């Protein structure tokens, strides 16, 4: 007779195999990382450049350059570029993050000889036409106004400002900032930032020798730094708001309040980072976390609550986010404080720690399901100035962390009183 009350045996994942990239350096100095695998005739190619900020308080310029990359070169108009990319069934996606700007191509191999020359043209000869800029400004301002009506969006802006002050990481554009963008500044920044010596190329998928040859010709030989010498990115000066500050943005009609809570934290290169990720997972990093168990599954205050730890080039932050019914906003903050205190004051039960360990190792294994995810894992460490050996350390920490260590980390990094608290909606 089948005993359904007994769980089947399960096995802990104690290691995982990462695919190491083949590294090539092109003649112009561009580092290239190749992840070759897969049955499908497709590739993902990422051209990544480090952000260089003309002014910390005008980081919008960097966003605009990135988002306008497909708006025309001196040879092809925006419309012509779009037509060629779409006709070849490709997706060419610019994306801007805190420290890097990237252009990612998803394509079937058979179309690469048509598409790669276009990408080279975009990276070397974008012209940011006035008319397209006007459209960009108009449409982006409209979208910003819609986003500003969303409590979660506003809370994130308030949070970033409070934690990172007026630096690039704290910057949140206002509608008026869009009017400050002009074509000359875009061209100048484009010339400074989109250069092989400031770039990294990450290629994943079915990367044949033919693909590498084509990339080398177009992005090794034909992509040369032009004009003035490259600028370097200097670390920003970050002056955060007062520790523990409470910021409330009243929204009288709100049905829910958006909550953001957190502070600056440690970077991936810090020895405590993987351990703090374990603590973060316990607190709010998975469905069974203490915050979810308490605030959603016991009290039903919210659809979701989570915490996260993000490592940036020059800083890092820890954050908790949720949207909760307005009448339970204050009660939610009390519970968050309680859960943080419990991690500091009481040792975590060994069974709970084992669950988190297994969960983290299982999901790490699960996040490596195709060649693109191997490339992503690599980027995480590479842009933190580390190499793939980091994951050996990570595995070691996750598998061996003790109750005492969890408590030490909670006491070092999770102090509710020092966290900035943002509420957009209603607090009482």
Partner 1 sequence: MVSFDRFTLTNGLRVLVHQDNATPMAVVNVLYDVGARDENPDRTGFAHLFEHLMFGGSVNIPNFDGPSQVAGAQNNAFTSNDITNYYITLPAANIETAFWLESDRMLGLAFNEKSLEVQRNVVCEEFKQRYLNQPYGDVWLRLRPLAYQVHPYRWATIGKELAHIEHAKMEDVKDFFATYYTPANAYLVVAGNVETATVKALAEKWFGPIPAGQKPRRQLPVEPAQLAPRREVVHADIPQNAIYMAFHGAARRDSGYYTVDLITDLLSQGQSSRLYRRLVKENQLFSEISAYQTGSMDPGLVVVEGKPLPDVTMEAAEEAIWRELAELRSHPIEPYELEKVKNKIESTMVFAEMGILEKAMNLAYFELLGDADGFNHETQRYLAVTEADIQRQAQQLFRKENSSTLIYLANDHA
Q: Least distance to partner 1 from the beta carbon of 310, Å?
A: 20
Residue with tokens 């190749």: 34
Q: How many residues appear in the chain?
A: 428
Phi, psi of 338 (to 5 degrees): -60, -45
- Give dist(CA 270, CA 264) in Å, integer: 13
403-413 vs 329-345: helix axis angle to the nearest 10? 130
Residues 123-162, interacting with partner 1 (CB under 8 A) = 135, 138-139, 142-143, 145-146, 148-151
| 8 Å CB contact between 65 and 50 | no
| 8 Å CB contact between 267 and 276 | no
Binding track, positions 284-313, relative to partner 1; x by CB under 8 A: --xxx-------xxxxxxxx----------
Tell me if 232 contacts partner 1 by CB under 8 A. Answer: no
Compare residues 30 and 211 and give the one whose CB is closer to partner 1: 211
Tell me if 93 contacts partner 1 by CB under 8 A. Answer: no
Determine the interface stretch with partner 1 among 53-61, 207-215, 322-330, 339-347 (rule: CB under 8 A).
322-330
Q: Which two tokens stand for residue 312?
A: 């940036």
Tell me if 366 contacts partner 1 by CB under 8 A. Answer: yes
Tell me if 176 contacts partner 1 by CB under 8 A. Answer: no
Among 83, 197, 389, 392, binds partner 1 (CB under 8 A): 83
Residues 23-82, interacting with partner 1 (CB under 8 A) = 37-42, 70, 78-79, 82
Cα 231 to the chain's mean position, in Å?
A: 24
Residues 251-270, interacting with partner 1 (CB under 8 A) = 253-256
Determine the interface stretch with partner 1 among 87-95, 213-221, 307-315, 402-410 (rule: CB under 8 A).
87-95
Residues 198-227, interacting with partner 1 (CB under 8 A) = none
Tell me if 96 contacts partner 1 by CB under 8 A. Answer: no
DSSP string covering 147-186? HHTSHHHHHHHHHHHHHHTTSTTT----HHHHHT--HHHH
- Give dist(CA 92, CA 44) in Å, integer: 10
Compare residues 86 and 197 and give the one whose CB is closer to partner 1: 86
Count the site residues for partner 1 by CB under 8 A: 75
């Amino acid at each position: 007779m089948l005993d359904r009350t007994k769980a089947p045996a399960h096995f802990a994942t104690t290691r995982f195999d990462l695919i190491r990239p083949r590294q090539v350096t092109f003649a112009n100095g561009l580092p290239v990382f190749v992840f070759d695998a897969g049955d499908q005739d497709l590739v993902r190619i990422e051209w990544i450049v480090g952000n260089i900020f003309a002014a910390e308080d005008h980081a919008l310029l960097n966003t605009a350059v990135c988002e306008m990359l497909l708006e025309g070169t001196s040879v092809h108009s925006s419309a012509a570029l779009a037509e060629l990319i779409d006709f070849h069934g490709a997706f060419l996606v610019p994306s801007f993050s805190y420290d890097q700007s990237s252009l990612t191509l998803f394509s079937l191999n058979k179309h690469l000889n048509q598409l790669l020359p276009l990408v080279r043209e975009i990276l070397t000869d974008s012209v940011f036409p006035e008319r397209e800029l006007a459209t960009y400004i108009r449409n982006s301002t409209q979208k910003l106004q819609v986003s500003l009506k969303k409590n979660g969006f506003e809370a994130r802006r308030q949070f970033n400002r409070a934690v990172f002050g007026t630096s690039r990481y704290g910057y949140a554009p206002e509608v008026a900032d869009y009017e400050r963008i002009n074509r000359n500044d875009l061209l100048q920044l484009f010339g400074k930032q989109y250069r092989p010596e400031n770039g990294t190329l990450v290629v994943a998928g079915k990367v044949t020798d033919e693909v590498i040859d084509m990339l080398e010709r177009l992005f090794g030989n034909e992509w040369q730094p032009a004009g003035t010498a490259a600028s370097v990115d200097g670390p920003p000066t970050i002056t955060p708001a007062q520790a523990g500050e409470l910021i409330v943005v009243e929204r009288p009609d709100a049905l829910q309040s958006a909550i953001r809570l957190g502070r600056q934290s440690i970077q991936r290169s810090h020895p405590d980072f993987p351990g703090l990720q374990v603590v973060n997972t316990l607190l709010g990093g998975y469905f069974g976390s203490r915050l979810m168990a308490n605030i959603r599954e016991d009290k039903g205050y919210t659809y979701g609550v989570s915490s996260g730890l993000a490592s940036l080039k020059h800083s890092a932050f820890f954050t908790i986010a949720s949207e909760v019914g307005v009448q339970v906003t204050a009660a939610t903050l009390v519970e968050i404080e309680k859960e943080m205190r419990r991690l500091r004051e009481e040792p975590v039960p060994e069974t709970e720690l084992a669950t988190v360990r297994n969960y983290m190792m299982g999901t790490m294994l699960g996040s490596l399901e195709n060649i693109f995810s191997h490339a992503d894992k690599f980027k995480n460490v590479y842009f933190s100035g580390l190499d793939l050996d980091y994951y050996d350390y990570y595995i070691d920490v996750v598998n061996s962390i003790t109750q005492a260590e969890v408590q030490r980390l909670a006491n070092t990094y999770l102090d509710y009183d020092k966290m900035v608290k943002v509420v957009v909606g209603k607090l009482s």
